């Protein structure tokens, strides 16, 4: 039996947890056990079918582990004996550990729709060979139906038309695509951008059955309408991969995630930690459990878990929820609460908005209009969230907003914000939209007529 200090079970967040452990405790020996031969960048999966050109261009090299002194074992862990501190692999190999990290991620949600198991119906799995097969099969597809209008569904729809003569239809059960993540005005903007590419978008529609004799030939909607389909992509969400954790006797919490404290330590065993999609999350804003699964949260949890394995170094502040996406060249990002979320919780808010080109002057090459919407608590002026659409700068602007939220900055703080600007890189310091949106919120906050 092989014996080491730390065993990490899993993929992407496990890599971060292992590296964090090695940085804080360079004398500890770390082994990662991973079922997948190759780790894909999860957020890049839709781009395999368009921009990147294939799964081989969307991988995290194993050299990252080697460079950080982490041994990789490609195999499947099938049992954890916590009393003896031993992990057993499918091939019979056993590994003894001092500390264990579950970073087993999530698997796609597959709903009980009749016909869901037909050929050419694909949930979005994070597996290299599987996604290669989807790419090969797509070369002969003329009618593609995507069930789900969230991030995965919208990005797949945008990418799959690139370089292909293919009809793409997105079917979404809610009134808007991306409705779980963004406010209506941003949802409508994203839908309009996707429609410009020729994608057909059906909202307020539920799939009743997947049709075909063995192989998919169509999709029937609840209202009776039938859509032709040579292929169906399921992009309706994910569920935590916690079967092994449950088998090991770890306590599960919200939506069968592994219960952890703010140090990412499991409730059940002080020598077992968990991070990423398999771990339970609490909201930054109210501390309640949340089912959000994002790379921004997973990697933060992984850094915390790795640092805390041998000493309580960092605490998890809770899930802020920060993300961005691109639809037909237009970027959309959100950090923290949206107006819809705030209204659902009954929070009293003040909203500030601003628009400006992302260069100054706006006539600079490749200039793009930015739109910013900020939410502040009415009683305290503390920022609760922000939504942005525009060009590439959106990706980093929402990261700035996430930092503002995490440190509970107020409107006054943001009005005094000192931004570095350059004509070709940023909006004008006079019209900087994050600051100007905060400025527009001051008047209603202070009750000035």
How large is the average pLDDT for residues 361-383? 94
User: Measured between alpha carbons, how far is 345 from 343 in angstroms, rounded to an integer?
Assistant: 5
For residue 443, what pLDDT is reported?
75
The separation between CA 347 and the C-alpha centre of its own chain, rounded to angstroms, equals: 25
Q: Does the pLDDT value for residue 447 go beyond 70?
A: no
Q: Does the pLDDT value for residue 38 go beyond 90?
A: no
User: Measured between alpha carbons, how far is 413 from 116 in angstroms, rounded to an integer?
Assistant: 52
For residue 449, what pLDDT is reported?
46
Report the half-sphere exposure of 74 (CA within 13 A, side-chain side): 6
Render pLDDT for 328-342 as a digit per residue (tens, 0 to 9): 999 999 999 999 999
What does the block give as tokens for 230?
């040579």
**Mean pLDDT score across all residues of the chain:** 95
How large is the average pLDDT for residues 202-215? 96
Render pLDDT for 221-251 as a digit per residue (tens, 0 to 9): 999 999 999 999 999 999 999 999 999 999 9
Q: Does the pLDDT value for residue 266 go beyond 90?
A: yes
CB-based contact 7:294 (threshold 8 Å): no
For residue 442, what pLDDT is reported?
84
Q: Please, is 223 exposed, middle or buried when counting C-beta atoms within 10 Å of its C-beta (0-12, 13-18, 19+)?
A: exposed
Give phi and psi for 448, each to the nearest 5: -80, 135
Q: Tell me the whole-structure pTM to 2 decimals.
A: 0.95
Q: Please, is 73 exposed, middle or buried when counting C-beta atoms within 10 Å of its C-beta (0-12, 13-18, 19+)?
A: middle
User: Measured between alpha carbons, how far is 162 from 51 in angstroms, rounded to an integer?
Assistant: 8
User: Measured between alpha carbons, how far is 13 from 274 in angstroms, rounded to an integer?
Assistant: 10
Domains and their CATH numbers in the chain: 2-105+239-308 (3.50.50.60), 121-236 (3.50.50.60), 329-446 (3.30.390.30)
User: Measured between alpha carbons, how far is 4 from 261 in angstroms, rounded to an integer?
Assistant: 25
For residue 448, what pLDDT is reported?
55
How large is the average pLDDT for residues 302-324? 97
For residue 12, what pLDDT is reported?
87
Q: Does the pLDDT value for residue 178 go beyond 90?
A: yes
CB-based contact 375:339 (threshold 8 Å): yes
What does the block give as tokens for 391?
């060009």
DSSP assignment, residue 448? -
Neighbours of 2 (CB within 10 A): 14
- Strand segments (E) across 41-124: 59-60, 70-74, 77-81, 86-89, 94-96, 99-103, 106-108, 121-123
What does the block give as tokens for 372?
């910013």
């Amino acid at each position: 039996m092989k014996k080491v200090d730390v065993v990490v079970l899993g993929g992407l967040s496990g890599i971060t947890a292992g590296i964090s452990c090695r940085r804080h405790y360079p004398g500890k020996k770390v082994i990662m056990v991973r079922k997948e031969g190759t780790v894909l960048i999860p957020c890049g999966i839709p781009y395999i079918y368009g921009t990147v050109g294939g799964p081989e261009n969307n991988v995290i090299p194993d050299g990252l582990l080697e460079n950080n002194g982490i041994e990789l074992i490609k195999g499947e862990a099938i049992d954890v004996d916590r009393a003896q501190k031993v992990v057993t692999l499918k091939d019979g190999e056993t590994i003894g550990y001092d500390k264990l990290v579950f970073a087993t991620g999530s698997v796609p949600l597959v709903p009980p729709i009749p016909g869901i198991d037909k050929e050419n119906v694909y949930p979005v799995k994070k597996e290299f060979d599987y996604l290669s097969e989807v790419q090969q099969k797509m070369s002969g597809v003329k009618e593609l139906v995507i069930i789900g209008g969230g991030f995965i569904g919208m990005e797949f729809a945008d990418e799959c038309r690139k370089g292909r003569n293919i009809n793409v239809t997105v079917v979404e059960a809610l009134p808007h695509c991306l409705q779980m993540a963004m406010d209506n005005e941003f949802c409508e903007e994203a839908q309009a951008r996707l429609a410009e590419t020729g994608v057909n978008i059906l909202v307020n529609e539920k799939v009743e059955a997947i049709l075909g004799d063995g192989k998919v030939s169509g999709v029937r909607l609840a209202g009776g309408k039938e859509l032709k389909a040579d292929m169906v992509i399921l992009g309706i969400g994910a569920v935590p991969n916690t079967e092994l954790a449950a088998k090991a006797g770890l306590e599960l919490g919200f939506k069968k995630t592994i219960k952890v404290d703010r140090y990412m330590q499991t409730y059940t065993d002080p020598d077992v930690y968990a991070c990423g999609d398999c771990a339970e999350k609490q909201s930054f804003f109210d501390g309640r459990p949340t089912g959000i699964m994002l790379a921004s949260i997973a990697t933060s949890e992984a850094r915390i878990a790795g640092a805390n394995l041998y000493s309580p170094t960092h605490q998890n502040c809770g899930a802020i929820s920060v993300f961005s996406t691109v639809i037909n060249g237009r970027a959309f990002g959100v950090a923290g609460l949206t107006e819809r979320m705030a209204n659902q919780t009954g929070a009293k808010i003040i909203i500030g908005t601003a628009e400006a080109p992302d260069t100054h002057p706006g006539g600079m090459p490749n200039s793009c209009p930015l739109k910013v919407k900020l939410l502040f608590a009415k009683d305290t002026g503390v920022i609760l969230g922000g939504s942005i659409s525009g060009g590439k700068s959106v990706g980093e602007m929402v990261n700035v907003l996430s930092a503002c939220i995490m440190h509970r900055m107020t409107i006054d703080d943001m009005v005094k914000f000192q931004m570095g600007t350059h004509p070709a890189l940023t909006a004008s310091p006079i019209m900087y939209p994050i600051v100007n949106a905060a400025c527009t919120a001051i008047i209603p906050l202070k009750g000035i007529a």
